[in-house]
Amino acid sequence: MKWFLNGMDLLCIRQSLRQKHHRFNQDHIRLTQCHYRIDAFKTGSSGSGTITVTERTHGRSSSDTVRFRDVNSFDGITKANLENSSGYSITKVDDDTYTFSVSTDTATTGNIRGGGDRATAGPATIEN
């Protein structure tokens, strides 16, 4: 069961608080996976490695590192690349979207939504 507050996943709220205050211990950080809506990822133009992520009221800042899990391959971008264990440094576009660039794949068609219905995001490493 997922819990929501004003339409925002409470796990995402917990992550936003952790990012802003760095007070949560390791047990709390394990609970900070944000579940995305179906196909929350969108490729840039054909030949581009830029991906736009839609995450409502994400609370993230440019240069934050985000690691994605349970993402499906789409538009020429492989699951392995999307789930890079080091995560990706993001660029905040607005309160609901941010971008990152994959290192080895590029969009085949471009401007395609994908990623599936189980994708999550969280910190690349656990902070103590």
* The model's pTM: 0.73
**Which ranges constitute the DSSP H helices of 3-69?**
10-21, 26-29
Give me the residue spans of the domains in the chain. 35-122
pLDDT at 78: 97
Tell me what pLDDT residue 6 has. 38
User: What pLDDT does 8 receive?
Assistant: 43
Domain 35-122, architecture per CATH: Beta Barrel (2.40)
Q: Read out DSSP for 75-102?
A: TTB-HHHHT-TT-EE-EEEETTEEEEE-
Instruction: Specify the pLDDT at position 87.
Output: 94
Mean pLDDT by runs of 10 across the 128 residues of the chain is: 41 49 41 71 97 93 94 97 95 97 94 94 70
pLDDT of residue 19: 47
